Structure formats: structure tokens, C-alpha cells
Amino acid sequence: MKFERYGLGIAKGLSVTIRHLLRRPITTQYPEQRLNVSRRIRGNELIWNKDKCTGCGTCAKACHIGAIHISTSTNLVDNKYEVQKYEVDTGYCIFCGLCVEACPFEALFLSYDYECARYRRNDLFQDREKMVETSERKVSGYFYPGRAAKLPRQSLLVDNDRGKRNGR
């Protein structure tokens, strides 16, 4: 004789919910506590290495959105291109990472940041000053496993270690 229909089902359910009182909450309180994002995150900005860039424009060709604007001039003395303008409109960018994969000289990266909301559309433009790698604007390990190895391990909501979840 099964007693699920005779009130046992409800009792079982009640015991489940009361046991949840002792469970640790799964919530991360975002601005104070943060999870580490994936080391290969395709973050919301592009990071550009001015010294390695040859101005070949492969990234701009790879971008099917047309979000990358690059214009170069010819330096006849050193026999190479010089980049005059390098801009990305991250408002159009879909963060597919094709430009990063296309770059033959390891000069373009996706960033590790994900908090890039701006108040004005114009602020979404990244010109060359805003594309330099700094301590705040970190480089993601996307497409570059060597870079990824240096970043902190990703932490998950199911991680039991609270310190791991808080840390950056």
C-alpha cells in the first residue's frame, strides 16, 4: 500500500523544504561579491597592441560587422605602414572574436572585462588610447591559451568555498 496519496506526499515535501533552511544560499551579492568569469571570456572591449600591429588591416577585413576602422599611411623610410587611426565601435561589435583569430601578429585581443555599460553611445567608441592594455583593462585568454593560464580560475555558483566566490 502506497501512502503518497494519503498525506505522506505532503509530509515528504514539507521535510524537503525544512531541510533547505540549513542550506547555504546560492546568491552572489553582485557588486560586493563577484564570481571569476571564464578565463576565455570574450569580454566587451578590444585590446590592441600598438607595437606589434603592422597595419595590415586583416582584422578589419575579418570583421563582418564593419566595426573596426583602420587607416594607415606609408612610412617610406622604414618601408612599412604606420597606423593613423584605429577605432572600434563596440556598439556594433558582436564579440565574435574573428578579428582576434585573424590577426597574424598577436596584436589584437578581447578584454577580460564585462562591465562596459556607458551612458552615451559615443562612449562606446574605443580609440587607440582606450585600447591599450592596462591593469584595469585586462586581456582575456580567448584564442591565447598562454594568456589564459595566467588568469585566475573561473569560480561557479556551486563552488562551496566562499572565499573563492568573493575573490577577484
Partner 1 sequence: MAMQMLPPDWPGNFWAHWAIFAVAILVFVLLMVMVFIWFERRALAVMQARLGPNRAGPFGLFQSAADALKLLIKEDIVPAKGDKLVHWLAPVVAFVPVVLIFAVVPFWGGAILADLNIGILYIVAISSVTAVGIFMAGWSSNNKYSTLGAMRQVASVVSYEIPVVLSVVGVVLLAGSLSMQQIVAAQDIPFILLQPLGFLLFFCGALAEINRAPFDLTEADSEIVAGFFTEYSGMKFGLLFLAEYGEALAISAIVTTLFLGGWRGPLLPPFLWFLLKVGLVFFVIVWIRATVPRLRIDQLMALAWKFLFPLALLNLLITAAEILFWPAVSLWVFVPINFAVMIILVLLWSKFFKLGWGKVEV
Binding site for partner 1 (CB under 8 A): 5-7, 10, 13-14, 16-18, 20-21, 23-27, 29
Minimum separation from the CB atom of position 160 to partner 1 (A): 13
CB atoms within 10 A of CB 55: 18
Nearer to partner 1, 7 or 146 (CB): 7
Nearer to partner 1, 21 or 76 (CB): 21
Minimum separation from the CB atom of position 12 to partner 1 (A): 9
Nearer to partner 1, 65 or 156 (CB): 156
Are 117 and 88 in contact by the 8 Å Cβ rule? The answer is: no
Amino acid at 106: E
Minimum separation from the CB atom of position 63 to partner 1 (A): 42
Concatenated DSSP letters of the chain: ---GGGTHHHHHHHHHHHHHTTSPP----TTTS-PPPPTT---SSEEE-TTT-----HHHHH-SS--EEEEEEEETTTTEEEEEEEEEETTT-----HHHHH-TTS-EEEBS------SSGGGGEE-GGGGS--SSSPBP-TT-HHHHHHSPPP--TT---HHHHH--
Beta bridge partners, 70, equal 86
Nearer to partner 1, 5 or 120 (CB): 5
Nearer to partner 1, 31 or 104 (CB): 31
Minimum separation from the CB atom of position 21 to partner 1 (A): 6
Minimum separation from the CB atom of position 40 to partner 1 (A): 29
